[in-house]
Structure 1
Amino acid sequence: MNCNKEAVELMHCYLDGDITKEQEQALSAHLENCEACQKHFHELKRTITLLQSTEQIKAPANFTANVMNNLPTERKRFKYRRWFKSHPILTAAAIFFIFMISGMFSVWNQDNQLSVSKQDNLVIQGDTVIVPADVTVEGDLVVKNGDLIINGTIDGNVTLINGELIEEPIEGDGLMASVGEINGEIEHVDQMFEWVWYSIKELFENIFSF
């Protein structure tokens, strides 16, 4: 019998209670003639006896809760990173919104030149846009960084961004001439946040118009 393999396997089968009668007889015969295996078998049985006699160790009450409470708290920065990774669409939308608002603020602060929507037959004098008395403007009129004088007709809405609607005085009377006809609504955008809101509305209107 090979002591390094067969005898050890029979010992394990005996201790586990899975040994057959033939195997038990073979193990007994081998142990009678092998002092080394007798010693090893005795140590195995002694070890099992010690383990069985030892009381089962139980963790203290609230052990898990105490361990969790003593763990270092997660930094807020890592919480934010985890939230961003879990919500990629919302993160992308928030980043887009921030860049869009920043761009609008930059345009408001840097763009001081007069601009007007492309309309025929308008007269521009300095920073003032004039609708002559015999002119009818078809469609919406947008004037930015300038004033507007309406002597004719605008068949649409009027939007004044950082500008005013001016009524011309009647010569010699000190009175104001009546404003020409506006077949639509007039909107004034004089503050930065009003400009941002107006730009956002224009953006969504252009998107949904497609």
Structure 2
Amino acid sequence: MKMCPSQIVNFMHEYLDGDISREHEQELKYHLQACQDCQQHMHELSDTIAFIKSAAHITAPPSFEDQVIKRLPKRKNSVGIKRWFRQHPVLVAAAVFCLFMSATLLGSFPDDDQFSVTKQPNLVVNGQTVIVPAGEVVKGDIVVKNGDIVIEGEVDGDVTVINGNYMASTAVVTGQVKEIDEAFGWLWYKIKKGFDDFTNLFE
């Protein structure tokens, strides 16, 4: 059969499909009479088709589908996570917003050495040290970045020191005193301050 023309196999398929012309059928018959290998191949094709037709009435048992599904590999966790994301879009949006805001606030963390202080009257600035002199009262919040603060007088407000030191002995601070040395402390400070500013709008 290796030396037989390739169209002979095509004629076999046409014959078995019932779609062969009379001319091709005649050529196939002549060839099969002379070629033992092609006769065997033709019988194998005929037997295969007969088997398929005879098995057409066979149906799978009722539990076959359930057994196949049980043996299939389980879905990966990523599929469950995606489904959870689709079912809770508000929580996902809130989480993405918090992540974005955290990255933005962390990006604004004062990691340079630039010294700064909020402008308030009665403050004395000596290098990178802010001093509230004895007998003086500062009304309002004080924020010192990359510096120290020494309070000898009184502060009617909050005192926040970022990357610095708070030093006081007999000081009077009516608000809160906060020392922030880490990036996450800075992040929490900004979030809390933003929340306080927001709630103050409704007071």
Q: What is the TM-score normalised by the length of structure 2? A: 0.59
Q: Does 1:195 align with 2:191?
A: no
SS at match of 2:108: helix
One-letter identity of the residue aligned with 2:159: V
Q: Does 1:157 align with 2:148?
A: no
1:41-86, CA deviations, whole angstroms, 9 ceiling, x for partnerless residues? xxxxxxxxxxxxxxx9875364343132233433433433332222
Q: Does 1:183 align with 2:170?
A: no
Aligned residues: 145
- What residue is the counterpart of 1:208 in the other structure? 199
Q: Gaps spanning 5+ residues in structure 1: where?
A: 1-55, 168-177
One-letter identity of the residue aligned with 1:181: V
- What residue is the counterpart of 1:93 in the other structure? 94
Q: Structure 2 CA distance, aligned partners of 1:109 and 1:102?
A: 14
1:157-208, CA deviations, whole angstroms, 9 ceiling, x for partnerless residues? 22222211235xxxxxxxxxx4433233322222232222222211221222
Q: Structure 2 CA distance, aligned partners of 1:67 and 1:117?
A: 71
One-letter identity of the residue aligned with 1:67: V
In the TM superposition, residue 107 of structure 1 has moved relative to its aligned partner by 2.5
Q: Which runs of 4 or more aligned residues in structure 1 lie more than 6 Å from their structure 2 counterparts after TM superposition?
A: none
Aligned CA RMSD, in angstroms, stands at 2.7
Q: Structure 2 CA distance, aligned partners of 1:118 and 1:66?
A: 76
In the TM superposition, residue 135 of structure 1 has moved relative to its aligned partner by 2.6
When residues 115 and 65 of structure 1 are mapped into structure 2, their CA distance, relative to the original with a 3 A threshold, is farther
Q: Structure 1 CA distance, aligned partners of 2:73 and 2:163?
A: 54
In the TM superposition, residue 111 of structure 1 has moved relative to its aligned partner by 4.3
Q: What is the TM-score normalised by the length of structure 1? A: 0.58
Q: Gaps spanning 5+ residues in structure 2: where?
A: 1-56
In the TM superposition, residue 119 of structure 1 has moved relative to its aligned partner by 1.6
